[in-house]
Amino acid sequence: MNPAAALHRPPRRPHAWAWLFGASQLAVIALWWGYGWRVGLPALLLTHLVLVWATLRPQSRLLSPVLTRLPTSERVVWLTIDDGPSDDTPALLDLLDAHGARATFFVVGARAQVRPAQLREIVRRGHGIGNHSHDHPSATFWALSPRAMRAQIATAQATLAELAGMPPRWFRAVVGMANPFVAVALKEHGLARVAWSARGFDAVLRDPARVVARIERDLAPGAIVLLHEGAAHGRNAETLALLLRRLDALGYRCVLPEAMEALPEIAFTRHSRPSTGSGQAGLRPGGNPVA
């Protein structure tokens, strides 16, 4: 099997969660009937808390498959950049070119409509694009109804396919939170959900050194790195520049998952658990690079 195809896993049974949740509620009824509210009520709360946890945790696989890292022992990472296109996009593309790096831009459909040339430039330069919703409702995405969720994903998918000339294959939930209704829309459009294994909170932190130090703590072969563009503090390009320098120093390459087929077969291990250490080089606690 093509390794890249093995990574791309749209939901096959998008309603499985409903059957499992229904079975759990039947169990709760049985417990309540047999042992009273002192057992039944905690069981009811626990089953609902599990559903909430699965929605709010980006890496949870309970509601749909999600890719959190590339299963390889090679020193490669997948850079993913959310929230564009933006004023930062041209500078980010130039930085990636300068380091021979590839990234996937998880773009917002409505923002791509405003900046179609930037979207096409992303593709022209050999980077990937992903679906990141139509208009990025960050406060409410996790709680959208089935109809609203399907509209967010379908509208963005149609927009990006038209503007870029190809439909995205990857999806990232807004703020990473995917409620039970995401899976149906992903299956309809052949989208696979992507989370991350390393992040530095660059959407809110102004200091690039702090952001890169946070990312570096979680660097490992196959890490999926979460970055952003267009943040209000205006320092996303500086952050990417520093991160690319650190990755070069640590011997990491930035690849797209589609390029995994080019790696040696022995390096592609679905069940490998590489060390999370980042090697001898690193950042001091204060954020200063170690030579």
Catalytic residue (one of 127, 132, 134, 228): 228
**Which 3-state string (H, E, C) describes the chain?**
CCHHHHHCCCCCCCCHHHHHHHHHHHHHHHHHHHHCHHHHHHHHHHHHHHHHHHHHCCCCCCCCCEECECCECCCEEEEEEEEECCCCHHHHHHHHHHCCCCEEEEECHHHHHHCHHHHHHHHHCCCEEEECCCCCCCCCHHHCCHHHHHHHHHHHHHHHHHHHCCCCCEECCHHHCCCCCHHHHHHHHCCEEECCCEECCCCCCCCHHHHHHHHHHCCCCCEEEEEECCCCCCCHHHHHHHHHHHHHHHCCEECCHHHHHHCCHHHECCCCCCCCCCCCCCECCCCCECC
Cα–Cα distance, 169 to 132 (Å, whole number): 11
Catalytic-residue membership of 207: no
Catalytic-residue membership of 127: no
| Residue owning tokens 């890496």 | 59
Catalytic residue (one of 8, 82, 134, 136): 82
For residue 171, the tally of other CB atoms under 10 A from its CB is: 26
What contacts 281, CB < 8 A, 6 or more positions away? 246, 249, 250, 290
Cα–Cα distance, 271 to 228 (Å, whole number): 29
Residues designated as active site = 82, 228
